[in-house]
Amino acid sequence: MISRTLSRVATAISGRSVRRAVRRWVLGRPGDDGSRPSRKAGRYVWSIGIYAGDAWTSLAPLPGATNPVLTGGSVSDVPARYVADPFMLRVDRVWHMFFEVMNHRTGRGAVGLAASADGRKWTYERIVLAEPFHLSYPYVFEHRGDYYMIPECSTSRSVRLYRARPFPWRWSLAATLLEGPCLLDASVVRYGGKWWLFVETNPELSYDTLRLFYADALTGPWREHPESPIVRGDPRIARPAGRIVVAGDRVVRYAQDCSRAYGTAVHALEVLELTPRSYRERPACPDPILQGSGAGWNESGMHHVDPHALSDGRWVACVDGWYRSEA
């Protein structure tokens, strides 16, 4: 069973300790080791921007967009500490963006929705998915006319698949894909007639272990790849950082750099072999494709990208970033 396989990675830390550690990271409460941003209000401020470029490796602020396009202040239905982890889809000529909204009152994340006709000006709509546990990283995608979401919900000790009924307003649980003590930022892609799922699994929250699973059907059963974990002991390239892109015959995954601190930059890696028996990748670029700008809303770091190809050959992406506030 997959759950038993994943349990082996947690021999040194109990499930209760994992939940406490995840909660410390989310809330930034005393006890955080100080090596990663706690995202606590008044310390680290997260928000969302729009970038564009001629390629998925060359992105810059979108002309005409005033970044950040969404902040915690954009949220009108709950007291928001910050917004982060954006994913978007264009449906019926409208861009729909889903993202984490950290509720200041409950201390838990939920999934918010914003919409835009042109990708430059965004209107916040409302919270569209909330659970008794923390939600973030709402990985949304379309498959055979249906719309699905896989939000991170590691404190539930599972990877959960939701289906929209109707899109984009209501989401219901369709299946539980994986179970285990630590499953962070699960990212899926359809390629070569199979589904592939990448997920960070180190229960010590060092963000240095990436595991790979595959399945014939989206709902499973999921099997762990024989070369998994495909990243061991490398916090620069282990934790997923956004949508996996299939561009022609190329597959590209993004990873957030957590080597010095949490969420400082995004690296692109090109997948060279992806079969049930083999896996091989290499850096797509020598430098991060996103990183802190040194000033403003993303002064200190960036850790997420969701790029989409446009009909004119250009790319547009939703991203996030953070800066440290002394307030």
Please say whether the beta carbons of 91 and 70 come within 8 A.
no
In this predicted structure, what is the pLDDT of residue 327? 64
Sequence-ordered strand ranges (E) for 69-157: 80-91, 94-103, 109-116, 123-129, 136-143, 146-152
3-state helix, strand, coil in the chain (%, to 5): 10, 50, 40
Q: What percent of the chain has pLDDT over 90?
A: 84
In terms of pLDDT, which residue wins out, 19 or 226? 226
Residue 17 has pLDDT above 90, yes or no: no
What is the enclosing helix (H) or strand (E) of 251? strand 250-257
CA quadruple 239, 268, 124, 91: dihedral sign:
negative
Q: What is the mean pLDDT of residues 108-125?
A: 98
Judge contact between 40 and 25, C-beta under 8 A: no
pLDDT per position as a tens digit, 231-271: 999 999 999 999 999 998 899 999 999 999 999 999 999 99
Q: Which pLDDT belongs to residue 156?
A: 97
| For residue 303, pLDDT beyond 90 | yes
Per-residue confidence at 29, pLDDT binned at 50, 70, 90?
very low
* Per-residue model confidence (pLDDT) at position 326: 75
**Single pTM value for the model:** 0.90
Indicate whether 13 pLDDT > 50.
no
pLDDT at 248: 87
> Which residue ranges form the domains of the chain, and what is each CATH number?
2-324 (2.115.10.20)
Please state, rounded to an integer, the average pLDDT across all residues of the chain: 89
CA dihedral 60, 66, 70, 74 (to 10 degrees): 180
Annotate 107-142 with b (16+ C-beta within 10 A) or e (fewer): ebbbbbbbbbeebbebebbebbbbbebbbbbbbbbe
| Least confident residue range of 33-37, 182-186, 295-299 | 33-37
At residue 25, the pLDDT reads 40
Residue 299 has a pLDDT of 97
For the segment 117-144, what is each residue's pLDDT rounded down to a tens digit?
999 999 999 999 999 999 999 999 999 9
Question: 33-92 pLDDT, tens per residue?
Answer: 223 344 444 478 999 999 999 999 999 999 999 999 999 999 999 999 999 999 999 999
